[in-house]
Structure 1
Amino acid sequence: MPKILHTADWQMGRAFTRFETEDGAALVEARFEAIETLARLATENQCDAVLVAGDVFDAQTVADRTIRRVFNATQGFAGPWVMLPGNHDAALAESVWTRAQRLGAVPENVHLALQPGVIDLEPQRLSILCAPLTQRHTYSDLTEPFSVYQTPEGFLRVGLAHGSVQGLLPDEIDSANPIAPNRAEASRLDYLALGDWHGTKQIDERTWYSGTPEPERFRNNEAGNALIVDVSEPGATPTVTPVPTGRYQWHQLRETLAVHSDLEQLLERLGTLPESAVVDLRLDGSVTLAGEEALLKALSVAEARFRSLRCERGGLQLTPTEEDIAALKADGYVGEVVESLWERQDAAQDDVARDALAILAGLLREREQEAAQ
């Protein structure tokens, strides 16, 4: 029973510059670890081949060291790898692929599908029908020639392509690099391994996007998997099993706080996220001074626990209650400043006034605690 591991969209060399240096470096390293995980899974599941459906590299200009590390990471699986150029690493006349070949970095068991055609893996009885991108964007279906490609009798016909299945992807993604939605049936494919959509997605019983093995976006699209594909014989319906591969989980939270229970639910949700979380949090609405104190404490704990936490609080206003103001014991001139900052941030959504009010409230609370000792 032939078995393949389908993966795509590694985008090695990608930089995570919007993160803190330490976090960005960890996210980069996780992508190399993902390749090692793929190799281990292929070996453990006794796969006949690993197919990489495009965008192995994030750009043509990645460093030589990155190129070498990518191919070094494949060593855990001794069987054949077939790597297809995608839109980020198209097979140009001079490309990251030709540079890899000049460097002597490509192992003998790695097949680079730099030209359209068929790669026959004879011991595995697999024919890989390849549609590499030779430029970043094309506007014709590069998989159309699959219908006329001849393959040996008794070999599985497996398509390998990178692009957008027309009319079937979310958000009406009918862009460049189109692929016909009935390509597997029209070209008599036993399986069509696709890349470009970064989440795991089934198109039909023979056509799947594997998604990227390590998430890199705040998008709820089932990223962080590889696919183990079993086909008992030519013509049989494949059995496709998603296998988790991602190290980090990306969460984008958009919360509006209106009452105290909203804050409680947010803090509870943050507490349930794993240490491997990469969190992008944006808060709107309003919070009391007591709520602000609880929020800041929780965010401080979460920042130390998660891989990364970025919190945008520009839309969150401080709305002190009478109990908040009374608890500050701010009389005289200090009380007037508190009142002024409250009114200023409430009237104009002034971030400086909000932050100043929070700082002043914190100082007053510290003074009260010291006096009580």
Structure 2
Amino acid sequence: MKFVHTSDWQIGRTFRFVDDETQGALQAQRVDVIRRLGLLARAQGAAHVLVAGDIYEHETPTERTLYQPMERMRDFGDLHWHLIPGNHDAHTPDGVWHRLMRDGGVPENVTVHCQPGAVQIDSAENVWLLPAVLERRHVLTDLTAYMNDAPTPPGAVRIGLAHGSVTGFGNGEEAQHNPLALDRAKQAGLAYLGLGDWHGFCQIDARTCYAGTPETDRFTTGGGGGGEALVVTVQGAHAVPDIQRHRTGHYIWKKLDAVTLTTAEDIQALEARVRSIAPDNPGAVLAWLTVTGLLSVDDLALYESTITRRLRAAVACLRVAGSPQLSAGLDDLDRFGSSGAIRSAAQTLLKQAEGGGEEGAIAADALQRLFLLWNDGKGAAA
């Protein structure tokens, strides 16, 4: 028995820090990844795709958003897709699942499991699926507990599917909601327990895994940010499953450590570092930088040109926290000429900036902008 395990599609998710164009592209990839999951299942010879909750981001999506994932799954009629509700799309009265089933929007090759209990999904291999079903966003009881005593025929391969937080694994308030026993697979005699809610891959034990979201949706400094699905092979009821990770995400989200810039070489190294995330496709990169440092007037202009303009246009999204500050002295004021209103204003700002404090910070920022505008004006004139 071979199947694909995935979760947390969260169709309809919005990202507040991007522009409208990038927003649309990110949302489109969250839908298009369903096609990549179907192609993965076909390529691996898996007849079933198990989706461990949070297919939708909201309980009341628009009609188009509601039907998009269903139509993508309909295109793969040779595969059977098994869905359970998650905390974002719980099986509530008049929620997404009631709407779809009421309007006949669920394709024949898709099963929405809205009741707990063992369901046979492969008669030839005697495979039974045991779904846990969230009927509201948060519960305080373990919905997988019933699996311990759920009857299945002798020799059955029992596969659990649930959405929640493994007890003792997460932290914070969310970890207290929708708790799941750490050793549920062992207690319930499961060959495999596929989990959703955690957005990065995480293997709890030899039979229990979070698949993570198939299209990355958050910045990380290392791995574990999603963009994967699992291909699981189960040889029998008691055999340890073979679990293989496969890349499915289009976008790469990367958060870089604090970057200090003091020279032109630092700026060029930062550009190279971001471009190296996906050298063949920088347009698939979302990067979050934290920038500090002191730059000369010329290097500050280089930073604006290289990072703020050119690199920002090359990647899908460049999110920058902080900025390098201007390091300027009296000699730099000669750029404005030996006299005149602009020279006088710059000299006043420089003096205020050197005084420090809140006023000094505002003056330093104003002087920085003045130098950049002056340089831009010279470039335009040339």
**In 2, are the aligned partners of 1:341 and 1:357 still within 8 Å (CA)?**
yes
Alpha-carbon distance change, 131 to 284 in structure 1, aligned in 2, over 3 angstroms: same
Partner of 2:33: 34
Indicate whether 1:302 and 2:311 are aligned.
yes
Aligned residues: 369
Taking the aligned partners of 1:24 and 1:368, their CA distance within structure 2 comes to 35
Taking the aligned partners of 1:264 and 1:339, their CA distance within structure 2 comes to 31
**In 1, are the aligned partners of 2:200 and 2:225 still within 8 Å (CA)?**
yes
Alpha-carbon distance change, 17 to 164 in structure 1, aligned in 2, over 3 angstroms: same
3-state DSSP of counterpart to 1:133: coil
Partner of 2:299: 291
Taking the aligned partners of 2:145 and 2:87, their CA distance within structure 1 comes to 18
Residue by residue over 1:323-371, the C-alpha shift from the partner in whole angstroms, topping out at 9 and shown as x without a partner, is: 6445x25422433322333344562466764454234324544676789
Indicate whether 1:208 and 2:209 are aligned.
yes
**In 2, are the aligned partners of 1:43 and 1:77 still within 8 Å (CA)?**
no
Partner of 2:113: 113
3-state DSSP of counterpart to 1:76: coil
Indicate whether 1:255 and 2:274 are aligned.
no
Taking the aligned partners of 1:36 and 1:29, their CA distance within structure 2 comes to 12
3-state DSSP of counterpart to 1:265: helix
Taking the aligned partners of 1:120 and 1:280, their CA distance within structure 2 comes to 46
Letter in 1 for 2:290: R
Taking the aligned partners of 1:47 and 1:63, their CA distance within structure 2 comes to 31
3-state DSSP of counterpart to 2:291: strand
Partner of 1:360: 370
Q: CA deviation at 1:297?
A: 1.0
Q: Which runs of 5+ in 2 are unaligned?
A: none
Taking the aligned partners of 1:63 and 1:249, their CA distance within structure 2 comes to 27
Taking the aligned partners of 1:264 and 1:321, their CA distance within structure 2 comes to 24
TM-score between both structures, scaled by the size of structure 2:
0.89
Q: Which 10-residue stretch deviates more, 138-147 or 341-350?
A: 341-350
Within-5 A mapping of 1:51-66: 51-66=50-65
**In 1, are the aligned partners of 2:261 and 2:324 still within 8 Å (CA)?**
no
**In 2, are the aligned partners of 1:251 and 1:277 still within 8 Å (CA)?**
yes
Taking the aligned partners of 1:185 and 1:361, their CA distance within structure 2 comes to 67
Q: CA deviation at 1:146?
A: 0.7
Q: CA deviation at 1:241?
A: 0.5
3-state DSSP of counterpart to 1:240: strand
**In 2, are the aligned partners of 1:231 and 1:238 still within 8 Å (CA)?**
yes
**In 1, are the aligned partners of 2:167 and 2:175 still within 8 Å (CA)?**
yes
TM-score between both structures, scaled by the size of structure 1:
0.91
* Identical pairs, percent: 34
Taking the aligned partners of 1:145 and 1:366, their CA distance within structure 2 comes to 68
